[in-house]
Amino acid sequence: MKRKTLTQYLVEQQREHGVVVPEVRLLIEVVARACKAISHAVSKGALGGVLGSLGTENVQGEVQKKLDVMSNEILLEANEWGGHLAAMASEEMETIHPIPNRYPKGEYLLLFDPLDGSSNIDVNVSIGTIFSVLRAHHDTPGQPVGEQDFMQPGNKQVASGYAVYGPQTMLVITVGNGVAGFTLDREMGSWVLTHEDMRIPEDTKEFAINMSNMRHWAPPVKHYIDDCLAGKTGPRGKDFNMRWVASMVADVHRILTRGGIFMYPWDSREPNKPGKLRLMYEANPMSLLIEQAGGAAIDGTQRILDIQPMQLHQRVSVILGSKNEVETVARYHKEHGQG
Ligand code: P6P
């Protein structure tokens, strides 16, 4: 049976389910094409002279890898001329990137982490691109947008997704009607639908957290992990497995594929920051995918998608994955204080 391509899937979602408009379909196809180019650059590795750092820092104060900057450029160049965007925002850029005046402007905002998991680039471990699509709520089409137009909660996203550059290159997206996974057919250069309706099992025995931060966690997280580690004889009554890839895209992809819980909670190393991960272009797009696949995503107490953003690069505590396990963590936060 001939598998569907990304375009066929998106046209079907547009025609049969009315969940995607032509501009959003075009936008996702452009982002998908850019991710093919990023995958090509990433897979060259040392042969393409793209490994290593630039000796510069991004707006987050993190060392920029050559591939971080390349991936950012690929996404900007691919998306600025299409006419469907009013502006873009990226982890790699301090301020928003308005569409140059020489190009037509559209009604959508595109946010992205061009290459998430940078610490894994030079050691050949899966990395990825994360993107989020919002409507530009402005009165007249073509009116310039500002950073304030991006300050929308994640529940306003019209689409989100990621590409994971691993043993296979895959694109996983939602346009609000479930989650679909596509595998890159390098010979044809097309994204082929291989995971029609990704669903997260409601229960799990696998958690993902960076255990080296244990002494810095708040009590609810410490108690939760202690009880998981206690296994069958402990209060959870079952043994747990642990995974930590240190690439959010890879950990989330595993959870979308077989269940699990991913945690990057607040910790006392930077007490004034709610967590390490960014709300607008990491937590929000991933939370939409997780919820669309039947999972849950909270910051410890509230739904991530309901958080009203105040700044473009603001951070958030992230607990997401199998619905019943996320609810268990929420219960630990109620019983052991907020943290
Ligand atoms: P740590 C990658 O740098 C990232 O932003 C996420 O993709 C990943 O989940 C996390 O940071 C890893 O952080 O502290 O374990 O290196």
Ligand 1 centroid to residue 93 C-alpha, Å:
18
Q: Is residue 45 part of a domain?
A: yes
Q: Does 117 contact ligand 1 (Cβ within 6 A)?
A: yes
Q: Are residues 117 and 184 in the same domain?
A: yes
Q: Looking at the structure, do residues 75 and 172 belong to the same domain, yes or no?
A: yes
Report how far residue 263's alpha carbon sits from residue 244's, in angstroms, rounded to the nearest whole number.
Answer: 10
| 54 within some domain | yes
Asked if the structure places residue 133 within a domain, the reply is yes
- Whether residue 1 is contained in a domain is answered as no
Would 234 be classed as within a structural domain? yes
Q: Which tokens go with 327? A: 């609810």
Contact, 127 vs 33, CB < 8 A?
no
Does residue 200 fall inside a structural domain? no
Same domain, 136 and 13: yes
* Residue 29 near residue 36, CB atoms below 8 Å: no
Same-domain check for residues 190 and 210? no
pLDDT for residue 140: 65
172 and 212 part of one domain: no
Q: Of 195, 230, 253, which residue is a domain's last? A: 195
Q: Is 276 annotated as a binding residue?
A: yes
247 lines ligand 1 (CB under 6 A): yes
Please indicate, yes or no, whether residues 73 and 186 belong to a single structural domain of this protein. yes
Domain shared by 276 and 227, yes or no: yes
Q: Are residue 69 and residue 151 in the same domain, yes or no?
A: yes
- Identify the helix (H) or strand (E) that includes residue 20: none
How many residues in total does the chain contain?
339
Q: ipTM score here? A: 0.99
* Statement to judge: residues 169 and 236 lie in one domain: no
Half-sphere exposure of residue 127: CA atoms within 13 angstroms, side-chain side = 25
φ/ψ of 162, rounded to 5, equals: -150, 155
Q: What is the pLDDT of residue 18?
A: 85
Residues 6+ apart with CB under 8 A from 334: none
- Please give the tally of structural domains in the chain: 2
Per-residue pLDDT of the chain (339 residues; tens, 9 = 90+): 789 999 999 999 999 888 889 999 999 999 999 999 999 999 998 898 888 888 888 877 888 889 999 999 999 999 999 899 999 999 999 999 999 989 999 999 999 999 999 889 889 999 999 999 999 976 666 677 999 999 999 999 999 999 999 999 999 999 999 999 999 999 999 999 999 999 999 999 999 999 999 999 999 999 999 999 999 999 999 999 999 999 999 999 999 999 999 999 999 999 999 999 999 999 999 999 999 999 999 999 999 999 999 999 999 999 999 999 999 999 999 998 854
**Closest residue CA from atom 2 of ligand 1:** 117
Is the beta carbon of 58 within 6 A of some atom in ligand 1?
A: no
Would residue 83 count as lying in a domain?
yes
Q: Which CATH number belongs to the domain containing residue 306 in this structure? A: 3.40.190.80
The pLDDT of residue 141 is 64
Residues 168 and 236 in one domain: no
Both 215 and 306 in a single domain?
Answer: yes
Q: Is the domain of 159 the same as that of 240?
A: no
Where a domain ends, among 166, 195, 224? 195
| CATH number of the domain enclosing 96 | 3.30.540.10
Q: How far apart are CA 95 and CA 116, in angstroms?
A: 19
316 phi and psi, to 5 degrees? -155, 150
What is the CA(134)–ligand 1 centre distance, in A? 25
Whether residue 115 is annotated as binding a ligand: the answer is: yes
Q: Is 301 in the pocket of ligand 1 (CB under 6 A)?
A: no
- Is residue 10 a known part of a binding site? no
Q: Is 282 annotated as a binding residue?
A: yes
**Would you list the DSSP string of 142-209?**
T----GGGG---GGG-SEEEEEEESSSEEEEEESSS--EEEEEETTTTEEEEEESS----S--SEEE-
C-alpha 48, offset from chain centre? 26
Query: Binding site annotation covers 91?
Result: yes
pTM of full prediction above 0.80 = yes
Which ligand 1 atom is nearest residue 249's CA?
Answer: 7
Q: Which residue range(s) make up the domain with 291?
A: 206-336
Query: Which of residues 195, 227, 246 is at a domain's end?
Result: 195
Tell me which of 53, 64, 119, 266 to substitute to probe ligand 1's pocket, judged by most ligand atoms within 8 Å of the beta carbon. 119
- Residue 322 falls within a domain, yes or no? yes
